[in-house]
Amino acid sequence: MKACIFDLDGTLTDTLESLAYSVGETLKEMGLSPITSDECRRFVGNGARALMEKALKAAGETDGSRLDEGMEVYGRIFDANCTYHVTPYEGVREMLAELKRRGMRLGVLSNKPHLQTVKVVREVFGEDVFDCVQGQQEGIARKPSAEGVYRLMEALGVAKEECLYVGDSEVDIRTGKNAGVRTIGVSWGFRSREVLADAEAETIIDAPEELLSI
């Protein structure tokens, strides 16, 4: 293995507070009922539009007529708060440092909007850990499409047989499978071990250091 591509939210960083806060402030500004943090946890993983669509339905806006308004408000609020209380999971920094020491090339692929993905990675990890960082962008199909994985593999200069993909959700498991790369599920993120097993994750780890033996 020469490279490892990571999901961001729920895999490298605990971003639930930033997401829940931004969704809450969006619903408040729109005059809607709040949703719970647990609901927000279940709604993340498929990008900002899917998150807002589900959040608005949970808040009582079931016809979808205010989705574009919600996206505008959420985009503004989340951009200002995307690093709010964001921290790396325990053991992640050490795991990344050891992978770098071993000569692995590292990438991040997220369904979070690209500018916010870059902002979070730089704020939490600095600019010298990851070789490539990619969030959701116009013209690139979001996960579980394999397109983002292929683009990162090309940028990292590796073949699919030389690359791992690591994520915390059923979306990530499907992404890795669609790309034809070995895929690792992590149980400490936004989904349970059972959800990962149901998605037919071939390998599930419970702590970042377990990745080093793989």
Provide the annotated active-site residues. Answer: 7
C-beta of residue 155 within 8 angstroms of C-beta of residue 130? no
Distance, CA of 207 to CA of 214 (rounded, Å): 12
Distance, CA of 55 to CA of 27 (rounded, Å): 8
Structure tokens at 32: 């809607």
Residue tagged 């500004």 (tokens) = 29
In total, the chain counts a number of residues equal to 214
DSSP conformation letters of 119-158: HHHHHHH-SSS-SEEEEE-TTSPPTTSSHHHHHHHHHHT-
Q: Which residues contact 36 (CB under 8 A, 6 or more apart)?
A: none
Distance, CA of 49 to CA of 148 (rounded, Å): 18
Radius of gyration of the chain (CA): 17
